[in-house]
Amino acid sequence: MEKAGSAAPATLSRDLANFLVELSIAFHKHAIYPAGHPLLASAVDSVTGKLQGLLADRPTLSIGIARRQLIIEGVATDPDHPLLQELANKLHRHHLGAVKFSAGITKAELSNALATLAVDAGRMDQPLGLTADDVSAQWQHVRVFPLTYDKLELLDEDEGEPGAGAAPAEGQMKAGRAAQLWVGMARAALAADTVDAVEDDRALEPVVVAKAIDEHQREKAYDQVIVGYMLQIAEELKAARGTETAALQKRISKMVGALQPDTLERLLDMSGDNVQRRKFVLDASQGMAVDAVVDLVRAAADAEKQTISHSLVRLFTKLAKHTTDADVTRSAMADQSLREHVQRLIGDWSLDDPNPEAYSLVLQAMSRQAAAGENRSGISLVCEPDRIVKMGLEVSMLGTRVEHAVDAMLDRRQWTELMDILDAAPAGAPTDGVWRQMEQHEVLRAVLEEERIDFALVARMAKRMRLAAVTPLLDAVETADDGSKGRERLLDLLVEIGDDVGSGIARRLPTAPAPLQRDLLSTLGRLSRLPPELTLEDYASHPESIVRREAVRLLLKQEHTRNDAIVAAVADPDDRTAFLALTAAQERCPAAAAPVIMQRVDDGELDASLRALAIRAVAGRRDASVLPWLLRRVQRRTKWMRRLKLEDKSPEMLAALGALAAFWREEPDTRDALALAAKSGDPDIRQTLTSPRLTGSMRAVT
């Protein structure tokens, strides 16, 4: 029997999953390859074939867009899927809420759409979503819908009362994830075919959104996108807390209450996916307002062909009314009781018995008054939850009581105490079950979102979670200030996890801003091996010198890319990047790099210290052009007597003289210069003739 309050996550069909993956790959290739590249044609062919196969069974296919995931056919994709997360993030940065494909789409049209959407939003004057109508006008069978929430204000229920707008922090919902989800759903509901209809902020009110959903009868994909946003909103309400989430709860609850019963049942049909439907109602029962929960239970029962007696509905309704009781204790108990009973009831709807056991248990539990001092799990509030967790681990039993005790500790943010209990648990204790519960609650992400991060606690959790900690850590790195100690410590923790973090870092690189790309590339350089999917050459030609420098540093470490990196970097206008290449060339200077180095010295593009380094880099090459080039920097002939005379002492002159002594001493043309130097009264010049730094590791390269 399935436990109440738990449900397996819904999954995409194989056809839809394969289509999204191919779409992500084609999108990525259009972002990195120029038009006409042969790899683009094969990618478009693959996506077009899968898309046309899907459109054979439906007139249109709509994809909803959130920051880290996509919504298709009512199912939200895994937010940790690297390809789909990257695609969703790039489209979301364009302020797009949905993309719709229609039957009849051609390869050329799809290729043009991918090329347009793949341009990074940071490189455009404005995101594509701000001119969605003009963008969509380019194509006949592709349409994009905007997601803009910069002007949206989600107000509390008393927003019309005097003083409600006095303090924006109290009445306004900032443009965070909750606002994104609400506006995404509102625009999907109202802007499916008429984007102009939502320009008025009033059109984003829950009642107006509900009316639009009630009246929409045009396409099944429309309902699927709406359901996808409802699923995400339910998960957000279940996991998050705060003013923003409270405003979202009021909005979605008001919208559910305003929907017609038939419409709500149609949405909860969810293509017949009972597991997904049950998960949605269970999540909603923990986060939405209680009156909306009752409406959802009714609609879900009809969708699953389950029977709920009028008596039970009346009991639910009565409990919902008690949640507004002036007595705070009574109100809280009614709220907890209703949500608990809904979860227990829905948990056993998989049974065919018209009177399932959970149904009888709910009636029995509701018929008796909750004992004083008990919470919704029946655990005495006198007994500390940490004590219950310790007992459960000691006897190797993780039942419902222990799970509720862990929840209680997590709700109270007793993260360190819980970690201490797990570390002190006896050998063989079922600590994995508690860890799974902590991961489901995204405790690491919650710790990282604290105003003052407890890095000691983060380190303990990352050491245990390993690769599961990479995504939350990288998210925190993105939000940390550039150059801050916090970012440095987070990157140190990633390195401590091991080389396998490289793939996660490589996936973040393309969309990261330049300072973050620099830090991520530097972090990759601290690993013992680089991820195979990383293409460093793309970053070695980056317009920002701070990124090029780190990419060159990594390329120089690899034998198969070292020579090409030196050749490219010695011509870099950034002195620090050129310094890396010239330093590497001291050991072995590639033939193609020598002319570039000498030309830059002749043109005076390098400062004195770099010129000296450049001279030493090419000095060991036995090329015919090197010797006269060095001699010109050591000696010159006087105008009158045409006698040889040493050039004025400088770092450049000393470097050339030392190179002649180290590599060209036996050449006849060199002897006169060395003889002049030996007669010089300057001790620096005489010492250069025997300097060990020029005769040690450097060797002539033929």
Where do the structural domains in the chain lie, given as residue ranges?
1-147, 148-160+167-291, 306-365, 591-694
pLDDT > 70? residue 701: no
More reliable by pLDDT, 404 or 375: 404
What six digits make up the tokens of 48?
A: 């077009």
Helix H or strand E segment including 644: strand 644-646
Distance CA 491, CA 476 (A): 10
pLDDT > 70? residue 275: no
Give pLDDT, residue 222: 62
Helix ranges, 191-327 (H)? 206-215, 220-239, 243-258, 261-269, 274-287, 290-303, 310-322
Q: What is the pLDDT of residues 637-685, one digit of tens each?
A: 877 666 788 888 888 888 888 888 888 888 888 888 888 888 888 888 8
671: Cβ–Cβ under 8 A, 6 or more apart, which residues? none
Q: What percent of the chain has pLDDT over 70?
A: 74
Distance CA 629, CA 670 (A): 12
Helix H or strand E segment including 334: helix 328-347
Cβ atoms < 10 Å from Cβ of 9: 11
Distance CA 252, CA 154 (A): 11
pLDDT > 70? residue 411: yes
DSSP string of 440-502, one letter each residue: HTTHHHHHHTSSS--HHHHHHHHHHHGGGGHHHHHHHHHHSPTT-HHHHHHHHHHHHH-TTHH
Distance CA 514, CA 618 (A): 33
Buried residues in 364-403 as b, exposed as e (16+ CB within 10 A) = eebeeebeeeeebeebeeeeebbebbbebbeeeebeebbb
Cβ atoms < 10 Å from Cβ of 25: 16
Helices (H) and strands (E) in the chain, counts: 36, 7
Alpha carbons within 13 A on the beta-carbon side of 116: 22
Distance CA 256, CA 251 (A): 9
pLDDT > 90? residue 98: no
Give pLDDT, residue 323: 64
Residue type, 538: D
Alpha carbons within 13 A on the beta-carbon side of 64: 32
- Range scoring the smallest mean pLDDT among 17-21, 141-145, 280-284, 602-606: 280-284
The residue-averaged pLDDT of 77-91 equals 84
* Main-chain dihedrals φ then ψ at residue 64, nearest 5 degrees: -80, 150
Cβ atoms of residues 173 and 179 within 8 Å: yes
More reliable by pLDDT, 73 or 459: 459
What are 492-496's contacts with CB under 8 Å, separation 24+?
A: 493/455, 493/458, 493/459, 493/462, 493/469, 494/470, 494/523, 495/523, 495/526, 495/527, 496/459, 496/462, 496/463
The residue-averaged pLDDT of 551-578 equals 91
332: Cβ–Cβ under 8 A, 6 or more apart, which residues? none
Distance CA 694, CA 17 (A): 61
Distance CA 577, CA 364 (A): 75
Q: Which residues pair with 61 in a beta bridge?
A: 101
* Burial (0-12, 13-18, 19+ Cβ within 10 Å), 202: exposed
More reliable by pLDDT, 227 or 276: 227
CA dist list (Å): 114 to 41, 135, 191: 12, 12, 22
Buried residues in 175-188 as b, exposed as e (16+ CB within 10 A) = bbbbbbbbbbbbbb
Q: What is the pLDDT of residues 173-229, one digit of tens each?
A: 444 667 767 777 776 676 544 434 444 456 568 888 888 877 775 555 566 667 777
- Range scoring the smallest mean pLDDT among 53-57, 358-362, 421-425: 358-362
Distance CA 675, CA 510 (A): 57
The residue-averaged pLDDT of 428-449 equals 90
Closest by Cα among 44, 144, 59 to 100: 144
Distance CA 392, CA 385 (A): 11
Give pLDDT, residue 375: 47
Distance CA 122, CA 128 (A): 11
pLDDT > 50? residue 8: no
pLDDT > 90? residue 159: no
More reliable by pLDDT, 541 or 328: 541
The residue-averaged pLDDT of 429-442 equals 90
Closest by Cα among 681, 611, 601, 676 to 650: 611
Residue type, 114: L
pLDDT > 70? residue 382: no
- pLDDT tier, 154 (very low <50, low <70, confident <90, very high otherwise): very low
More reliable by pLDDT, 437 or 285: 437
Cβ atoms of residues 4 and 25 within 8 Å: no
pLDDT > 70? residue 313: no
- Range scoring the smallest mean pLDDT among 146-155, 235-244, 562-571: 146-155
Q: What is the pLDDT of residues 49-73, one digit of tens each?
A: 888 888 888 888 888 787 778 877 6
Mean pLDDT for the chain? 77
